Amino acid sequence: MLSFISITINIISLGLFNAIQNLIKSHRSRNWPSCIGKLKYWDIQSKEADEGIETQIKRFNYLYTIEQVEFEGTRIGFGFPDSLRDGGFDQKDFDEILKNAPALKIYYSPKNPSESTLCVGVKNFHLTSVLFHLFIFIMAIVFVFQKLI
């Protein structure tokens, strides 16, 4: 039982670590240089869930050139999967990204130009994710202490 609890807390810790890491990268990316790239591929698929709620899946693929080297990216924003579902990502951010399509403003890491994103800065999603994982982590610790006492 103790090993199961230990594994569970480790998995929850990894989720919390990942959420914090995405928050930090999103914050740092707001100071990254930008370039104009081009949209290579994008797709929006609407799907209806069992509850009758429609969700959209957005996929992006873009190209950009830094110092005569071409790179390809799929990241919309840190913490968001490459295939983005509605939720956490404001429609105004999405509209801003595509306003000049197929030209895109792409932000890239000055230390590693192959690391890029379309959306920079901390969004509500990042804070919600950290708080959610922190809450689950604290609840797991409380559960463990209750079992040990």
Binned at pLDDT 50, 70 and 90, residue 27 comes out as very high
Quote the pLDDT of residue 39: 92
Q: Is the pTM of this model over 0.85?
A: no
The candidate with the shortest Cα–Cα distance to 79, out of 18, 121, 140, 14, is: 18
Q: Is the peptide bond before 110 cis (omega within 30 degrees of 0)?
A: no
Higher pLDDT, 5 or 2: 5
Predicted confidence (pLDDT) per residue in 40-72, tens digit: 988 777 777 667 666 667 778 999 999 999 999
Asked whether residue 139 carries a pLDDT value surpassing 60, the answer given is yes
Distance of CA 49 to CAs 52, 55, 56, 80, 83, Å? Answer: 5, 7, 10, 20, 17
Quote the pLDDT of residue 89: 60
Asked whether residue 88 carries a pLDDT value surpassing 80, the answer given is no
Asked whether residue 73 carries a pLDDT value surpassing 60, the answer given is yes
Quote the pLDDT of residue 6: 76
Distance of CA 132 to CAs 13, 54, 71, 139, Å? Answer: 12, 24, 34, 11
The candidate with the shortest Cα–Cα distance to 115, out of 54, 52, 66, is: 66
Q: What is the mean pLDDT of the chain?
A: 83
Quote the pLDDT of residue 109: 96
**Angle (CA) 81 129 111, round 5°:** 55
